[in-house]
Chain A
Amino acid sequence: MISVENLSKQYGATTVVDGVSMVIERNSITVIVGTSGSGKSTLLRMINRLIEPTRGRVLIDGHDTTGEPAHLLRRRIGYAIQGHGLFPHRTVAENIATVPRLLGWDEARIRARVEELLLVFQLDPGAYAGAFPHQLSGGQQQRVGVARALAAEPAVLLMDEPFGALDPIIRAKAQDDLLDIQRRFGTTIVLVTHDMDEAFRLGDHVAVMSHGRLLQYDRPAVLLTRPADPFVSRMTGVSDRAMRLLSLTTAGEAALPGVSEGPAVAAAASLREVLSELLWRGADSAVVMDADGTRRGYLTIAAILERGRPG
């Protein structure tokens, strides 16, 4: 658990982050979203003390982060950034081994961990361990960047626009991978982005920032149905907020018990996707199927539309 208490950062007369307080739950993904200059990156960097706060403090599991030298603190916190920042003169394996080396792990343990991570990130160790960053594609570089951030099994992973440099298709894949990895390792992830779609797709909680202040911090559905500020509605988008709301619920969660006719849809698909599928096929109802092929229930267009309304 990360407690941010009344955190502020000033440069001269300019206040970049203004009295932000928030509690970030363990084993969840929290997305901080805002326009450029909103102070979101500064807030993130104050968590691992790449930037020292002017006022306020950060507690990780109850311990004040100023209790130890900043570089030792950072070895316990994963950090991944836009454009990956891989060391160009070191191989993929050496890049991933950076923090374990700093922590003084023995070579056998480092080798095993690097291999494990390469497999998790779908990079064949035989082909990629000895490769240099410039020999990889953009998507592979980004994966190595995240693997490096996770190498020393940190409980907390901070990510600053980690997918900003990727094209849309690779970005969607990277986001899915991140969700898988979060489930697998149970890491507490704090991610900064300016992309609301990304925030809604990844975040268990979303924090909206503007001009250094935290406007609202809540579950994505609450941001849509009960925005605390006109700026939050503008960020989340008024014109397609019903569709966004539908995208937050899966077919499996909304499925009605019983049997019905119609095309089969996956339980993991969002209601937005199911609605689109039904419109496309001209059907009124769909059968919801689990990944293993068993029937979960059914959905009708009316039931889906019901879910697209606030309250």
Chain B
Amino acid sequence: MPGMAAILRLAALALLLGFLLMPQSFAPLFTPLTQYGAPPIYDQGNLLTLALAHLGVVCCAAAASTLVAVGLGILVTRPSGAQFLPLSRTLVNIGQTFPPVAVLAVTVPLVGFGEKPTLIALFAYGLLPIFENTIVGLQTCPPQVLEAASGMGMSARQRLLSVELPLALPLILEGIRLSLVINVGTATIGSTVAAKGLGEVIIAGLLSNNNAFILQGGLVTGLMAILLYDALAGLERRICRTAHLE
């Protein structure tokens, strides 16, 4: 039922915006979770600013992951780069299996505290879905279409830009969406190394034993992930429909 989905979507967006813009009006809901008169709403910073900073770090990391993963995916699906496929796959897989917390531990001594180590951790963690989807998208282009493109007289570059990438686009976009959504959640750990973000709220809650803070940080992050996933899926459908790539 598309009507139901639209209502849920709007409700989730209204809830998120309402909470970020007027958090104090939700105070009665969170008061039961606090003890000894602790503040029910996070008061050590502006929630809206933190949410935007959180989103900013995630988007920057995703942009870098996209550039590298799509570029690498193109390279290893060319005849000249095919020999790098196993190596690239191993590197990208390490990026995914190496825990982001461990990446933070390794990178802080090198680049210092703040956004930089978080960006690096999220970048490495987000490569895999984009890389694999780019490869699958490029490798599953119908062979007849590719042969026709070459037979018509397209150069390798023209074929890539005007046939292969457009046909692989739906899968590449899906990879970017997965990567973004995974990293909205993962980015909360950035607050352990002083990156601005919603992790701050959760950590503040853990330190002061304030369940209300933990819940707020988690809910805002979760709502953002769901809405982002939904919005990107809609955008993908729209792009694919206008380009007739069902």
- Of A73-81, A200-208, A258-266, A274-282, the stretch lying at the interface with chain B is A73-81
User: Which one of B147, B151, B158, B243 has the greatest number of beta carbons of chain A within 10 Å?
Assistant: B151
Q: Which residues of A contact B154 (CB under 8 A)?
A: 71, 98, 102
Asked whether any CB of chain B lies closer than 8 Å to the CB of A84, the reply is yes
- Interface status of A134 (Cβ within 8 A of chain B): yes
In the bound complex, what is the Cα–Cα distance between A50 and B148 (angstroms)?
Answer: 10
Known: A74-B153, A134-B244. A89 touches B167 (CB 8 A): yes
Least CB separation from A165: chain B residue: B144
Q: Which residues of B contact A89 (CB under 8 A)?
A: 166-167, 243-245
- Residues of B141-176 contacting chain A, CB below 8 A: 142, 144-145, 147-155, 158, 163, 166-167
Q: Mark A90-132, 1 if CB is under 8 A from B, else 0.
A: 0000000011001000000000000000000000000000001
Is A83 within 8 A of B152, CB to CB?
A: no
- Contact across chains for A85 and B244 when beta carbons are under 8 A apart: no
The tally of residues in A whose CB lies under 8 Å from a CB in B reads: 26
Are A87 and B151 within 8 A (Cβ)?
Answer: no
Question: Are the CB atoms of A148 and B152 closer together than 8 Å?
Answer: yes
Task: Out of B149, B153, B155, B246, name the residue touching A87 (CB < 8 Å).
Answer: B149
Task: Look across to chain B and name the residue whose beta carbon is closest to the beta carbon of A133.
Answer: B244
A174 beta carbon closer than 8 Å to chain B: no
Question: In the bound complex, how far is the Cα of B153 from the Cα of A145, in angstroms?
Answer: 15
Interface residue from B145, B153, B155, B158 paired with A85 (Cβ < 8 Å): B145
With CB as the reference atom, state the residue of chain A lying closest to B157: A71
Query: Are B148 and A86 closer than 8 Å at their CB atoms?
Result: yes
A48 near B: Cβ within 8 Å? Answer: yes
Q: What residues on B are CB-neighbors of A48 within 8 Å?
A: 151
Contact B153 A81 (CB under 8 A): no
Q: Mark B164-192, 1 if CB is under 8 A from A, else 0.
A: 00110000000000000000000000000
Given contacts A73-B153, A79-B148, A88-B167, 6 further A-B contacts (CB under 8 A): A48-B151, A71-B155, A85-B145, A86-B148, A134-B246, A148-B152
What are the 9 closest A-B residue pairs judged by CB atoms, nearest first? Answer: A85-B148, A75-B153, A79-B151, A74-B153, A85-B144, A132-B244, A71-B155, A83-B144, A71-B153
